Copies of this chain bind each other. A is one copy, B any other.
Amino acid sequence: MPVLSRIKRPVKKEMAEFEAYFSKTMRSEIPLLNIILNYILRRKGKQMRPLLVFLTARLNGVIAESTFVAATFIELLHTASLVHDDVVDDAHERRGALSINALWNSKIAVLVGDYMLSKGMLISVEKNRFDMLEIVSEAVKSMSEGELLQLQKARKLNITEEDYFKIISRKTAALVSACTACGARSVTDDPETIRLMKDFGENIGIAFQIRDDLLDYEGTGLTGKTVGNDIKEKKITLPLIYALEQSASSKKRHILGVVKNRKKTKTDINKVISFVSDNGGMEYAELKMNQYRDKALAILDSYPDSDVKDSLKEFVYYTTSRKK
């Protein structure tokens, strides 16, 4: 059985119900909007976020309607942000199919994203789940702040390891911890449990992002990302930050000069990758990633054994060992 199907097993029924719930929520009276929403629904991704919401809820209690509300809100928000990202990046493909901006146009894509976001807000309001609105709006704020901090640092190339963790905690881990916090919140009022689950998600999110950044150096042939893409875009991530910290300032200046250059050749990019490799940048990032993974696993270990605990363990391992 493929790993994701195995992870899904304890909430298989709910994930199937979620599909129907989600597509019902999306529906609108505007015909053009429905055509586009159907197109999006048919090309859905792995739905890792709703899965995490359901698994965390099951771990802490009995899945309720509010679990569906949380999963729907978060998936709507995530989908809206992908649609908007494609506009900004002028990307013509998403998940192997044409993007909304390519198939219709940018204006339509932005409006569809706004519609999904407002629908997510409305469903939380309708169901009186203001606690979830708070968790999710906090995540949206963090995500935009994290991305902006990253862009700011990329302009000056003066990013430290501390900055890096500040950025990824906001731009990636905030939404993952919103999944686990909302999942827990949907089945319990206990603030201690919710806080613990928020931490659990935060650790998964950070480990996930380090893995993502490592894939840019290691590659596997499977990854959608081309190796060296971050370097090309002047995104300085943990492997390079560590390698630079290990080097004499003349070498450091030289490498930063290569990264800064707008017209980098394949040779330039390979030079940076070798530099990172020679200075133990990948090993260090892997070590850090495993620390966060282990923190997430330690939180799980405070729970009694169960099928859903096993699934979440596998979820964590999957996050940090995935090849794409």
Contacts and interface: CB of A to CB of B under 8 A. Distances in A.
B145 A29 contact: yes
Contacts of A108: 148, 151
Contact of A148 (B30, B81, B125): B30
Given A84-B114, A111-B147, 20 more contacts: A32-B151, A84-B110, A88-B107, A89-B107, A107-B147, A108-B151, A112-B148, A114-B140, A115-B141, A117-B117, A118-B141, A121-B121, A121-B133, A121-B140, A122-B134, A122-B137, A122-B141, A125-B130, A126-B134, A130-B130
A149 interface: yes
Interface string A10-37: 0000000000000000001111110000
A83 to B, nearest CB: 11
Interface in A253-305: none
A141 B112 CA distance: 10
Contacts of A145: 28-30, 33, 115
- Which bucket holds chain A's interface residue count? 35 or more
A70 interface: no
Contacts of A130: 125, 128, 130, 133
The 10 A-B pairs at the shortest CB distance, nearest first, are namely A118-B140, A32-B152, A121-B137, A115-B144, A118-B141, A114-B144, A125-B134, A111-B144, A88-B107, A122-B137
A155 B140 CA distance: 34
A148 B111 contact: yes
Contact of A110 (B87, B115, B125, B137): B87
